Chains A and B, each alone.
Chain A
Amino acid sequence: MIPPKRKNPLLRTRAALQPPAARSRTALGITAAAARGGFALQVCAACQAVQYPPREICGTCLHDGLAWRAVPPEGTLIAATTIRVTADPYFRERTPWRTGMVAMDAGPAVIAHLPAGVAQGDRVRLAQKLDRAGQGAMVALPLAQPGDLLDDPMMREMTCDPKDRRVLVTDGRHAVGQDVARAMLAAGARVWLGVAETWRPFAAVEGAETIELDLTDADSVHRCAASHGGRLEIVVNTGLHTRPGGILERGDLTTARVEMEAAYFGPMRLAQAIGPALRARAADGTHPACAWVNVLSVYALANLPSWGAYSASQSAALSLSQALRADLRPIRVVNALIGPLDDEWHQAVPPPKLAPAALASAIVKALRDGVEEVAVGDVAQDILARFRDDPKILERELAS
């Protein structure tokens, strides 16, 4: 794809409309699957019939035990059409828009958004993607995905590919920030890399533009927002202040305050300073502002008492991200959940540990996939699975 044309400064920046967002509580199962990058439909516990659209009782046997399960996403596109006229303000700006009906191998027939290139009769793979309203939507993709699929206008609405976007990475002092900057550059983005306390020595990342940014300093954040707030499409908040220590053994709040500044107050400052401009540019041209990424410890979900204060700061950050997800919409808030990093502060922690470069690659992939939650590495995936299984059991295990 040709790099995006520079915008005409005499034209109004279009407001970011959103597709229809209303969903029943039951239908949010699709949103949940899309947010995690899965594919799930309700399956009847009695007759095993796969359900679509989401419903309260089985369409085949009327049983009310319908659980969301991963089901095979393949099917055949049995009808395709192009919408040219619509009364919906969001889609009205985006016509022509292709939709079609897919007969799933698993049973149901599903109406799905279509990228260019899939035709009636094609075998397709359904995917559940988050749309710009943050709600789950069905998309039918060709089985052999073309390399430029993410450049398709429909897919651009569902995903946040960093290519040709401008990215702020908040903490260039940390290996994670540096590797995220490198991964974004490799993905075709322009990168501004924040560095706090530039009076201390630091290593610049080749290709990234270093800027002074200290999320713990309101003035620094406002200066960054003034210079860059109107020309960012993706923000990656990599602020990690990782220190071991339980609550009682530390005996004071000094480190805990710094942890809260790094994980909670700092990102809140940045969100307040940059969020409104980011949100206002969510439909600006072909590469609009699209994503806010947080790197969070998976122990935000359940406290690891030997890192008790740090875990608590991460819980605050997780809760902040949920509030931001609502406030920033249609900007997508993506949380990358991590276990121990392979860094200085986890020196005594045995492997598996997460390499910062692997985390950076996972963040780029999450943006391309359009998900809003990804657990990166063995530990994070394990903890997340156990959290979904039973938070109380996980809490007890971590505290043992």
Chain B
Amino acid sequence: MSSPTPTSSLADFAADLVSGRITVIDLTQTLSADFPTIALPPEFGQCAPFRLEEISRYDARGPAWYWNNFSCGEHTGTHYDAPIHWVSGKDFPNNTVDTIPADKFIAPAVVIDCSRETAANHDFVLTRSVLEAWEAAHGPIPAGCWVLLRTDWSKRSGAAYANMKEDGAHTPGPDPEAVRFLVEERDVLGFGTETIGTDAGQAHHFTPPYPAHFYMHGKGRYGLQCLSNLDKLPATGAVIVSPPLKIQGGSGSPLRVLALVAS
């Protein structure tokens, strides 16, 4: 992976940021009450949607200040998955959002553009052969980077975004072999998507179910979901800034995800 304008020092980096030679792209969906959350069968515990309750707004409850209480799940909106989120990752050291080393929160990214395939097939499955074809064009996926699946799913909203049918959600995601390839043969940092989860909507029918969760977290890797603006990123060369909230023992958290891109 090569950067068009490599920075050799922090001072150069800062200068590039100030001058606009590096642009900052927000990959975050707005946290709002009507943004879809993962839908599980109702007999299971559910992820709370985002909620905002006003404390005061320059009124009798607080004359000069406006503020809110908010509530949500750790996996609401654009959010980060820590390894402890999945049973396969429950025994790793430093597997919660508060103990993951901070240097894991800034990392390069590659973007696999499958937006054309996804437009034609909502159940598009990212396979090893798709990844190998990408590598043939862009070079090997480097160790320690985020792999972001671009589907343009974030351009959808509401029912089209959740895409729930009678047999569940129909959204794109990787198959088990693709995830194992990324983790075991490419040693990536994590996997990110534009959809509600890192796995496909129908991934409970895969073996193992939810392979992105199972294998990524099973190797102590991370997840990002509900990303947006992936269409503004280059295939290689972007740097992702994604520190989750430092929740004690947390399995994940909503977060602001930023991409640094050479312009």
Residues of A at the B interface (CB closer than 8 Å) are: 197-201, 212, 214, 216-220, 252, 254-255, 258
Contact = CB atoms under 8 A, between A and B. Distances in A.
Interface stretch (B157-165, B179-187, B200-208): B157-165
Contact of B52 (A201, A218, A254): A218
A197 B52 CA distance: 16
A200 B162 contact: yes
Given A199-B36, A218-B51, A254 B159 contact: no
Given A201-B164, A258-B46, 8 more contacts: A199-B36, A199-B158, A199-B159, A200-B36, A200-B39, A201-B165, A219-B52, A220-B34
Given A199-B162, A258-B46, A216 B34 contact: no
B53 A197 contact: no
A258 B51 CA distance: 13
B161 A217 contact: no
A246 to B, nearest CB: 16
Given A214-B33, A218-B53, A201 B45 contact: no
Interface string B11-44: 0000000000000000000000110100100000
Nearest to B159: A199
Contacts of A214: 33-34
B58 to A, nearest CB: 17
Contact of B164 (A200, A212, A217): A200
Interface of B: 33-34, 36, 39, 45-46, 49, 51-54, 158-159, 161-162, 164-166
Contacts of A201: 159, 164-166
Given A217-B51, A218-B51, A254 B36 contact: no
Contact of A199 (B34, B51, B54, B165): B34
B35 to A, nearest CB: 8
Nearest to A257: B48
A42 B8 CA distance: 96
Contacts of A216: 49, 51
Nearest to B162: A199
A73 B50 CA distance: 56
A254 B45 contact: yes
B125 to A, nearest CB: 23
Nearest to A200: B164
Across the A-B interface, the 5 shortest Cβ-Cβ residue pairs: A217-B33, A199-B162, A199-B36, A199-B158, A199-B159
A252 B162 CA distance: 28
Nearest to A254: B45
Contacts of B53: 218
A199 B161 CA distance: 8
Nearest to B51: A217
Contact of A218 (B45, B46, B54): B54
Contacts of B166: 201
A199 B35 CA distance: 8
A217 B52 CA distance: 7
B51 A197 contact: no
Given A254-B46, A255-B45, A217 B159 contact: no
A198 B51 contact: no
A330 to B, nearest CB: 27
Contacts of A218: 51-54
A198 B158 CA distance: 7
Contacts of B46: 254, 258
Contacts of B161: 199
A99 to B, nearest CB: 46
B93 to A, nearest CB: 27
A220 B158 contact: no
B166 to A, nearest CB: 8
A219 B33 contact: yes
Contacts of A199: 34, 36, 158-159, 161-162, 164
Given A218-B54, A219-B33, A198 B159 contact: yes
A73 to B, nearest CB: 47
Contacts of B165: 201
Contacts of A212: 34
A216 B72 CA distance: 12
A203 to B, nearest CB: 12
Given A198-B158, A200-B159, A201-B165, A217 B34 contact: yes
Contacts of B51: 216-218
A273 to B, nearest CB: 12
A197 B33 CA distance: 9
Nearest to A261: B51
Contacts of B33: 214, 217, 219-220
A255 B161 CA distance: 26
Contacts of B164: 199-201
B113 to A, nearest CB: 26
Nearest to B53: A218
Contacts of A217: 33-34, 49, 51
Nearest to A220: B33
Give the one of A198, A199, A200, A255 with max B CB within 10 A: A199
Nearest to B165: A201
15 contacts: A198-B158, A199-B34, A199-B161, A200-B36, A200-B39, A200-B159, A201-B165, A212-B34, A214-B34, A216-B51, A217-B51, A218-B54, A220-B33, A252-B45, A254-B46
Contacts of A258: 46
A224 B33 CA distance: 14
A241 to B, nearest CB: 10
